[in-house]
């Protein structure tokens, strides 16, 4: 059996065999977002599952180094499979990182975002078409609410979620608190990796039923466990998904250790000026 599928810019390698075709809801998230809310929520949904497939592309943002014997996973988008309590199938796509953005958006800043995002997203959608994927939810945090240039756009409070279905582009953004929602009075702004996924799903999926953003609060804290809980509450309520509390706790501890070590100051033998690098010893 051929485990490899290829499109123009993406290679898909299935772990064992391609999945059977049936109606499937795809959930996508970037695990490198500030606050790690989507990472923690995504880990609770994945639980202890192993990837059923990996997507590779020369257009992905992959660091040049790795480590041994404990190497990092950073070279592919990983696809997982789970079931809701009702038996409905969900795929969960975990992206280790996307291309960085300059939030100033001045001049030609970020002129690469469409170039590197569009081909990868298009090919993944085309590959998953044949296995019955017809719904998309992109989990993300409202990071633009932390940037003063976007202060006039929508902001979310703790415990709140916003959703928007790109298939109904003339409808309103819904702001949720628990099971209740209201029409938002504000517009929201989305990064390229978010809106491109949702827009292209509407265009390239053969039978799209849903193409939504699920947006949690953007928080200045390095670890935003509150927003992870808000995402999980919404997903488990709306789609009757299972959330593994043990996996959530484990990932919370892992990202906490990672962020703590990232900001530890080093003891340097010689006084050096690191100001140009944005680092103050």
The pTM score is 0.88
Contact (CB, 8 A) for 206 and 135: no
Helix ranges, the chain (H): 37-46, 113-129, 192-204, 225-239, 245-262
- List, for residues 59-101, the tens digit of each pLDDT value: 998 877 777 876 667 789 999 999 999 999 999 999 988 877 7
Query: CA-to-CA distance for 235 and 29, rounded, in angstroms?
Result: 13
- List, for residues 180-193, the tens digit of each pLDDT value: 899 998 899 888 88
Q: For the chain, which residues score pLDDT lower than 70?
A: 1, 70-72, 102-109, 260-281
- Closest C-alpha among 162, 140, 145 to residue 219: 145
The alpha carbons of the chain give a radius of gyration, in whole angstroms, of 19
């Amino acid at each position: 059996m051929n485990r490899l599928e290829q499109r123009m810019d993406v290679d898909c390698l299935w772990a064992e065999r391609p999945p059977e075709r049936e109606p499937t809801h795809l959930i996508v998230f970037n695990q490198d977002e500030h606050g790690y809310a989507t990472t923690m929520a995504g880990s609770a949904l994945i639980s202890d599952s192993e990837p059923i497939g990996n997507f590779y592309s020369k257009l992905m943002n992959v660091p040049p180094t790795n480590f041994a014997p404990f190497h990092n996973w950073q070279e592919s988008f990983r696809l997982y499979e789970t079931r809701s309590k009702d038996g409905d199938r969900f795929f969960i796509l975990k992206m280790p990182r996307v291309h960085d953005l300059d939030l100033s958006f001045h001049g030609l800043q970020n002129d690469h975002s469409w170039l590197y995002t569009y081909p990868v997203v298009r090919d993944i959608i085309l590959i998953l078409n044949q296995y019955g994927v017809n719904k998309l939810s992109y989990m993300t945090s409202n990071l633009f609410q932390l940037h003063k240039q976007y202060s006039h756009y929508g902001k979310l409070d703790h415990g709140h979620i916003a959703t928007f279905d790109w298939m109904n582009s003339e409808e309103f953004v819904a702001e949720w608190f628990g099971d209740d929602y209201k029409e938002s009075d504000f517009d929201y702004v989305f990064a390229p990796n978010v809106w491109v996924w949702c827009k292209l799903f509407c265009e390239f999926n053969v039978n799209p039923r849903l193409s939504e953003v699920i947006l949690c609060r953007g928080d200045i804290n390095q670890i935003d466990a509150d927003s992870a809980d808000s995402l999980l509450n919404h997903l488990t309520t709306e789609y009757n998904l299972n959330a593994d509390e043990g996996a959530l706790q484990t990932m919370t501890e892992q990202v906490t250790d990672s962020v703590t070590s990232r900001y530890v100051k080093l003891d340097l033998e010689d006084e050096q000026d690191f100001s140009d690098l944005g680092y103050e010893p």
